[in-house]
Amino acid sequence: MTVARAQRTRLLGVMLLLAALQFYLRPRIANPRLAPDFLLIALLVYGIRSRPGAAAVAGFAIGIITDALTPARFGAGALASTLVGYLASWGRAVFFADNLLVNAGLFAGGLWLRNLIVLLASDAGEGGFWPQLAIWSPLEAVTTAITGVLVLVLFRRWLDLRLDS
């Protein structure tokens, strides 16, 4: 097996683990509005390692998967995840992807931006627009950022990361 193929296989393994955690662990957390979004972590980890087009396609696929679970606002998640995946891939040229603090900011900012786009593209649902954007999204962004950094630290060899703190 070539080195590039081994790297892709390990990255795919981490992505599948995150997808499994999204559907197994996330529903079991007490308040789902505070639970980390494992699929978004997978999208951002993939996005900063790929070209913008591939990251946008991955974002679209993840958005369709999440939209299938919330059919009331079908399409909003696909739009939001596509834009976040594209921007994450484009942002790797601007930011240093090897820094843990930058990655934490990427996870938190990506989740907040995705939630903003979903709220703008669909009905805000229960609780209204501003409470979701100002209270619940930042709290979910913090838990997602912490979880994302833990994933990067635990799987840094699999993801071939050189993490600076």
Q: What is the pLDDT of residue 89?
A: 92
CA distance 72 to 56: 23
Q: What is the pLDDT of residue 45?
A: 93
Region 59-87: mean pLDDT is 90
Residue 154 has pLDDT above 90, yes or no: yes
- Residue with the bigger pLDDT between 49 and 46: it is 46
Split at pLDDT 50, 70, 90, the class of 96 is low
Reported CATH class of domain 3-154: mainly alpha
CA distance 144 to 106: 10
Region 58-85: mean pLDDT is 90
